[in-house]
Every structure is written in C-alpha cells, then in structure tokens.
Amino acid sequence: MFNRSTKKEKEKDKEKDGLVATHSPLAYPHRLNFYEEAPGHNITLEQFEMWAIDRLRVLAEIEAARVRNVPDGIKNIVNAQCEKYLMLHPNSDAASVELDTERRKDHVSHFVLRLAFCRSEELRQKFVKAETDLFKVRFLGEGTKDRAAFLASKSFGPSGQPISDDDKRLLKNQLMAATSSIKTDTDFESETFYRVHWTKVTDLVASRRVFIRGGYAYVPSASQSSIVLQAFQSRLTAALEMTARALPSLDEDDRLLPIINHFSQGFLAGIAGEHHGGGENSYGETVTKDMIDDMAKKHFPMCMRNIHNALRRDRQMKHQGRLQYTLFLKVLGLPIEEAILFWRESYANDQKTQDKFNKEYKYNIRHSYGLEGKRANYPARDCRSIITGNPPGANESHGCPFRHFSTSNLQSALSALYGVPSLSQDMSDILNAVEAKQYHVACTRVFELTHDNQGMAEGESVSHPNRYAARSRELEREKLARIQDKTKALTLTESDGAPSEDVSMLAGV
C-alpha cells in the first residue's frame, strides 16, 4: 500500500477495488465504505500521519462519548467531529465539493489506523467498536437513495430468505412477542421477515429482540440495519485479525512503526484518562492508609463506598471487589507500601486469613501496581467497565450500585450513605435515571447533591470513579481556599478570631 507497487499494479488494483466505476465519474461512487479493499494510492508519509490523526480524533471522541454514556446517543458528537476532521459530503454535493478527495482520506485513514490497532485484542476491540459506531451514524444518516445504491453494490439486498405467508401466519404470536417494534396487527401484516442464521444478528439475539428457531433468527426488515452493521463489524474484526498476522513484515518498515505505536498508545491513554500510575495522583499528592476512612465518606462514589463499607463490615473481600478497589486506591494516590498495610489491616486477623493474604492477596495487590507478572501499568476501571462487567454474585461487593442493586437497596443506601431523603424529588430523579439505565446520570446527580449542586467539570457526567473522587477533592480544595481567604480577611479585622468550624473540619486535608 505504501509506494511500493509499480504503476501498472496500481492500475490493476484500482480496477479490482471497483474504484473506477463506469457509470459514475467518481472513483468513490458511494460515501459509505465497507473498507474491504486496501487503498491503491501513493500517499506521502505526511498524509499518512495527518489523515490518521484526524480520524483518531473522531474515534477517540466516540470512545469518550461511549464511556460517558451520552444521553441522546453519539450521533451529534460524531457529526460535529466529522465536520471538523473527516467530512464526507453526499453525492448531491458533487458540484461544489471534491468528493473523491474526502472519501479517499476516509479510506486511507481507516487503513492506517488498522495497522495501529491490530496489535492486541484490546485495541482491536476498541477500534472495531468505534469504527462501527462511526459507520452506524453515517449509515443511518445516509439518504434513502444513496443508501440503497450502496447496499446494492455490496449485494446487501434483504439477506436471508423471506419466510412464506403460511409460516408467518403460523408464527404470528411468537414473532410479535419477540419483536417489540411491532405493536399492532397492521404493523405485522406489512412487515416482511427474513430467516437468517442467528450468528449474523448477534446484537438482536443478545438483547432478545428476535424470534429464534432451529438456529435461525426471524428478522423483520425493520431491523435490517442491524444486519448491515453486524456485517461491517464482523468483517472488520476478521480483517484486523488477518492484518495482525501479516504485520511482522511491516516491522521492517522503521518509518511507520513508531508512528503506529504512537497512535495506539495515545488512543488507549486517552480513554483511560490521565489516571494511570500508582503511588501519587495527578496532583502529585500521596494518600496514606489512615486517610481512607475519612476520604471514603467525603469523596468516594457509591461503588467504592459500598466496597469500603463491605470491607469494614466483613473484614474480607472477594477477588473482583479487591481488584476494583485496589486499582481505584492506586490511582487515588495510595502507594504500594500503604496499600499492602491497608489491606492487611482490613482483613480479619486470624492466622488463616493472614496466611492467605501473604500467599495470594499480596501478590495480587503488587500485580495491580505493575510489580508482578506482566508488570503492566493497569488503569483503574472506568464506569463503563464496572457497569458492564461481571455483576456481583452472592457475597460480592464489586460493580456499580446504580446498576447492580435492587431499587429498594439502592434507595436505602442512598439515604444512609449520601443523605438523600427517601421520598424526595431528588430520590425519584435518581431512581428514574436508574430505571432508564442512565447509571452515570444517577451517579452525577448524587455528586451534585452532595457538593452544593456543583457538578463534574464542564457539565460532564461521571465516567470514572477516580474522576468523581478527584473532582470532589478539587471542589473541597477550592472551598478550603475560599474559606481560608475569608478567614484571613476576618482575622485581619478581628484579630482574636478562632478558625471557623468549617476550617477545622477541613484542616486535615
């Protein structure tokens, strides 16, 4: 792909790519692209880098939005980002815009990032998710005619076999029960169902939105976009795995490798936020084990409060909870020596537990700090992974209370831990957000309620427990500074002024 093929080969490639379309003057007749063929153009190293960075900006924003769980979906964000960095105009704009240029940039940048993101399972997954989201927004926003033309070019007619009228009548009850979008008999009559293998529509299967029999899913044409999106996703996943296998030949190219590595690291770091290392947080402060009880009360989001309280109550903690909490405390600024002391003291003091601690838990803690095993610098888990991760089983305390508690338990925990009155408007706001599966929003509301109605920075919602804690400490610091200023002013006028109650309360910080 990079300046290596001869001119003739390139011409041939172009034909093969179907980029030279006879019925259209455009090399790229469609705005949408399944990225199945590598671009056959010469590009300069600068283009290589610039274009990739632009695309990376879009993808990083998508990933961030996903983590933040933006209420009205990512559509607006994607559109705004694309307008800045990766604009693709529809065919109707052909007169005024160089369509091929922007489509080529889209095509090339996708392939450059593939190289960067094929190198580990984690990166591949993130890349595929972000790219699929991007494609989805573009696909759903595409005009009917252009979309149909694109689908036809990919031979994406309705996939699978439409079922016969007899079958449809026979299965009516099941089909209607399985497909929540069909509400009335008229809806049903006008709908066509296609029989496709269930593995082709895993998202419909996973959310139990389709009827399945004998290995086949009965997909209404209204859900067709999900077939297309899934095809996009699974083809891209497969292609990335192949690229990964082919990649070592690229290792020889020492011009590209550093750039590529830089991309992927940047993306990962961007996602994980600036919170990485252990021992001290982004303010350069250290936390000691004795500060934790107090900090938990003042600054921890509910997930960590819950773990902390369970640990104090049970004097033990299951693996998942330990992991979630250890990493959180690490990023909070608790150094490894303190962490080990903290955990040892938290556990029951009998011989058996302490033996187990020395043999097993200590290793795990050191592992979390990157001092054992792979010695990786593990980031603390963000809300998304806590919320979507394994739900806590019996006797486990990890997870996100907004997601994993029953309503009544959540309610009493909110009252007990954060003082939210149980019959208040605030409580019902929070519970409504939970009901709508907007767990971050619920969490953000709790933050605001307990911080004089000040929220997270820049109107964000909570996306990471460490951000929650950091913001809470930041607000406290500001408050402390304000109070100090005030007391300074006061002491200047009333020289005998004892520090106000507020200040003594905050003095320990």
Residues making up the binding site for [4Fe-4S] cluster:
303, 383, 400, 443
> Between 272 and 302, whose beta carbon lies closer to ligand SF4?
302
How many Å is the Cα radius of gyration of the chain?
A: 28
Let me know: does 137 contact 59? Beta carbons within 8 Å. Answer: no
Stretch that binds other proteins, among 32-40, 93-101, 360-368, 389-397 (CB under 8 A): 389-397
Q: What is the DSSP string of 6-31?
A: -HHHHHHHHHHHT-S-TTSS-SS--S
Stretch that binds other proteins, among 76-84, 135-143, 200-208, 268-276 (CB under 8 A): 200-208
| The one-letter amino acid at 388 | T
Closest by Cα among 142, 147, 135, 140 to 59: 135
Q: Specify the DSSP class assigned to residue 348.
A: -
Let me know: does 251 contact 257? Beta carbons within 8 Å. Answer: yes
Is 409 a residue that touches other proteins (CB under 8 A)?
Answer: yes
Query: Rounded to an integer, what distance in angstroms lies between the CA atom of residue 69 and that of residue 62?
Result: 10
Q: In the chain, what is the greatest distance between 2 CA atoms, to the nearest angstrom?
A: 93
Closest by Cα among 315, 292, 305, 356 to 468: 305
Q: Which residues pair with 211 in a beta bridge?
A: 218
Query: Rounded to an integer, what distance in angstroms lies between the CA atom of residue 21 and that of residue 93?
Result: 18
Let me know: does 310 contact 296? Beta carbons within 8 Å. Answer: no
Q: Which residues pair with 193 in a beta bridge?
A: 220
Is 161 a residue that touches other proteins (CB under 8 A)?
Answer: no
Binding-site partner at residue 107 among ligand SF4, other proteins, none, CB < 5 to 8 Å by type: none
Is 480 a residue that touches other proteins (CB under 8 A)?
Answer: no
| The one-letter amino acid at 162 | P
DSSP three-state, residue 213: strand
Q: Specify the DSSP class assigned to residue 115.
A: H
Out of 406, 425, 453, 493, the only residue in the binding site for other proteins (CB under 8 A) is 406
- Least separation in angstroms between residue 385's CB and other proteins is 15
Is 206 a residue that touches other proteins (CB under 8 A)?
Answer: yes
- Least separation in angstroms between residue 303's CB and ligand SF4 is 3
Closest by Cα among 132, 139, 157 to 88: 139
Binding-site partner at residue 208 among ligand SF4, other proteins, none, CB < 5 to 8 Å by type: other proteins
Is 388 a residue that touches other proteins (CB under 8 A)?
Answer: no
- Binding site residues, ligand SF4, CB under 6 A: 301-303, 383, 386-387, 400-402, 439-440, 443, 462, 465, 468
Binding-site partner at residue 135 among ligand SF4, other proteins, none, CB < 5 to 8 Å by type: none
> Between 44 and 207, whose beta carbon lies closer to other proteins?
207
Q: Note the Cα 265 to chain centre separation in Å.
A: 16
Query: Rounded to an integer, what distance in angstroms lies between the CA atom of residue 176 and that of residue 162?
Result: 16
Binding-site partner at residue 391 among other proteins, ligand SF4, none, CB < 5 to 8 Å by type: other proteins
- Least separation in angstroms between residue 432's CB and other proteins is 12
Is 349 a residue that touches other proteins (CB under 8 A)?
Answer: no
Buried/exposed 203-233: b ≥16 CB within 10 Å, e otherwise: ebeeeebbbeeeebbbbbeebbebbbbbbbb
Is 248 a residue that touches other proteins (CB under 8 A)?
Answer: yes
Residue list for the binding site: 303, 383, 400, 443
Is 207 a residue that touches other proteins (CB under 8 A)?
Answer: yes
> Between 227 and 339, whose beta carbon lies closer to other proteins?
227
Is 211 a residue that touches other proteins (CB under 8 A)?
Answer: yes
Is 257 a residue that touches other proteins (CB under 8 A)?
Answer: no
Q: How far apart are the first and last CA of the chain?
A: 57
| Number of H-type helices and E-type strands within the chain | 26, 4
Is 431 a residue that touches other proteins (CB under 8 A)?
Answer: no
Is 402 a residue that touches other proteins (CB under 8 A)?
Answer: no
> Between 307 and 339, whose beta carbon lies closer to ligand SF4?
307
Let me know: does 390 contact 377? Beta carbons within 8 Å. Answer: no
Is 416 a residue that touches other proteins (CB under 8 A)?
Answer: no
- Least separation in angstroms between residue 322's CB and other proteins is 15
| The one-letter amino acid at 400 | C
> Between 211 and 439, whose beta carbon lies closer to ligand SF4?
439
Binding-site partner at residue 303 among ligand SF4, other proteins, none, CB < 5 to 8 Å by type: ligand SF4
Element housing 489 (H / E): helix 465-493
> Between 278 and 401, whose beta carbon lies closer to ligand SF4?
401
Binding-site partner at residue 2 among other proteins, ligand SF4, none, CB < 5 to 8 Å by type: none
Out of 157, 373, 391, 421, the only residue in the binding site for other proteins (CB under 8 A) is 391
- Least separation in angstroms between residue 248's CB and other proteins is 8
Binding site for other proteins (CB under 8 A): 173-174, 176-178, 180, 198-199, 202-203, 205-208, 211-216, 234, 237, 241, 244-245, 247-248, 390-396, 399, 404-409, 435
